[in-house]
Amino acid sequence: MKLLIVTASLPYPPQQGGALRTFGILQGLHQAGHEIHLLSFQDSGAVTPASTPLHELCSHIETLPTPGRSKSSRLRDLVFSGHPDIARRLYSPDFERRLLAMVAQNRYDVVQFEGIEVASYLFLLRQGGTSSRLCYDSFNAEAALQRVIFEVDREDITRWAAAGYSLIQSGRIAQFERELCQQADLVIAVSDEDAAILREYRSDRRVSVVPNGIFADSYTDASEQLELGEQALVFTGKMDYRPNVDAVFWFTDAILPLIQRHYPNAHLYVVGQKPHPRLEKLRDVPGIEITGWVQDVKPYLRGASVYVAPLRMGSGTRLKILEAMAAQCAVVATSLAASGLRDDAEDALRIADTPQQIADAVISLLSDPRQRQALGGRASDYVRQHYDWSKLIPRLMQAYQGVGVG
């Protein structure tokens, strides 16, 4: 097959959700012998594709500068248009022209849009009458995600403005998602829960599920490890993402103090790029470290005593949890954080939802190294069996076959 993959940013380095998923798909499709073209936005100063493994995976790569969008423009759209913010963020006439040119010059079997931010360009190709199959690979059920964010933020008076924004956006995104799912030949969800939501938008109710995955072998080199201390708690993620920011504040405010009553030296490492300005005040709090961007999260995962995923917002299959499990971490996660995983995940991680339950689970693991080691071993086996890309690419190929290609 010949495929064009369209992305919101260059999927390298694969250090956060969207890039991890897209890079895995690119590598898996390349290994399966397919020809891949890549069209992507790219921030100024970012690595060039030629200096990354992407040039080995893709026969052709084109990038355009990420468009700027001012706060005043976003506010104007919020007040005077019915467009969801997420659908307008990456609008670029130059990108439109480049996409149309690439599709005109090549006979792609599939044009696949990675995430909702670039999916608005799917309508452009549909209107042009392309013969390519148009695929929307959804990273989240976005409208449902915004509704959950609204429910959490409205409980905090200081977050009422943000809650109101999420409430408005959830309605607009729902309409956008509906139109998008109806126009796409193939819709892919990353979890059964997301698929159930997106199926409501399609008359044929056909939505394929291809979970997020990783290359499990790359997480097993124990030599790459940091000495973080005997009670090291680790959380990873893109730290300007609202669900991750909320998780950190909930953990540091309501959960970490409970743990530190038993283990005063318990230390939380928040590992991830682009820390939100709201997190700055945590830098001066004893027992908390905000690392910012790191070249590789794996040494932090291997140095963790317990990996925590106290998410109260979000959807899909959390790549951060898959990475931690593959690195043989003992993981404590909320039900929502683990909701995208298979039902048998409860054997491979601890699930807890209230502050006291989460603290108790962490304390139990900190007090028992053998329990941590056993849980981490089961976690690694679980990911290798169900979420390695070698297991998931065949599911993607089946999805393509369902719309007559592949």
pTM above the 0.75 mark?
Answer: yes
> Confidence band (pLDDT; 50, 70, 90) for 76?
low
Pick 128 or 316 by higher pLDDT: 128
> Confidence band (pLDDT; 50, 70, 90) for 73?
low
- Domain annotation covers residue 361: yes
Do 56 and 169 lie in one domain? The reply is yes
Distance CA 86, CA 103 (A): 24
Contact (CB, 8 A) for 38 and 58: yes
User: Residue 354's Cα: distance from chain center in Å?
Assistant: 24
Please check the confidence at residue 46 and state whether its pLDDT lies above 80: no
Angle between helices 142-153 and 242-250 (to 10 degrees): 30
**What is the total count of domains within the chain?**
2
> Confidence band (pLDDT; 50, 70, 90) for 316?
low
Pick 72 or 163 by higher pLDDT: 163
Do 335 and 246 lie in one domain? The reply is yes
- Domain annotation covers residue 406: no
Res 122: pLDDT: 97
Gyration radius of the chain over CA positions: 21
Distance CA 180, CA 190 (A): 16
Nearest alpha-carbon partner for 333 in 236, 399, 238, 263: 236
Distance CA 184, CA 176 (A): 12
> Confidence band (pLDDT; 50, 70, 90) for 206?
very high
Do 141 and 184 lie in one domain? The reply is yes
Q: ∠ CA 57-60-65 to the nearest 5 degrees? A: 105
Do 150 and 26 lie in one domain? The reply is yes
Greatest mean pLDDT among 14-28, 100-114, 209-223 lies in 100-114
Digit-coded pLDDT (tens) for 141-171: 888 888 888 888 898 888 888 888 888 888 9
Distance CA 190, CA 24 (A): 13
Kindly provide the residue ranges of all beta strands, DSSP E only, lying in 272-344, ordered along the sequence.
288-292, 306-309, 331-333
Quote the domain boundaries for residue 232. Answer: 217-386
The set of residues, in sequence order, having a beta carbon less than 8 Å from that of 357 and lying 6+ positions away, is none
Do 206 and 270 lie in one domain? The reply is no
Contact (CB, 8 A) for 323 and 330: no
Res 168: pLDDT: 87
Do 195 and 294 lie in one domain? The reply is no
Res 374: pLDDT: 97
Do 286 and 332 lie in one domain? The reply is yes
Res 259: pLDDT: 98
Q: Cα dist. 217→29, 255, 274, 328, 386 in Å?
A: 18, 33, 27, 12, 13
Strand pairing of 208-209 and 267-271? unpaired
Residue in the structure block whose two tokens are 């790219």: 42
Do 74 and 148 lie in one domain? The reply is yes
Do 179 and 295 lie in one domain? The reply is no
Contact (CB, 8 A) for 321 and 147: no
Do 183 and 303 lie in one domain? The reply is no
| % of the chain residues with pLDDT over 90 | 68
Res 375: pLDDT: 97
Domain with residue 62: its CATH number is 3.40.50.2000
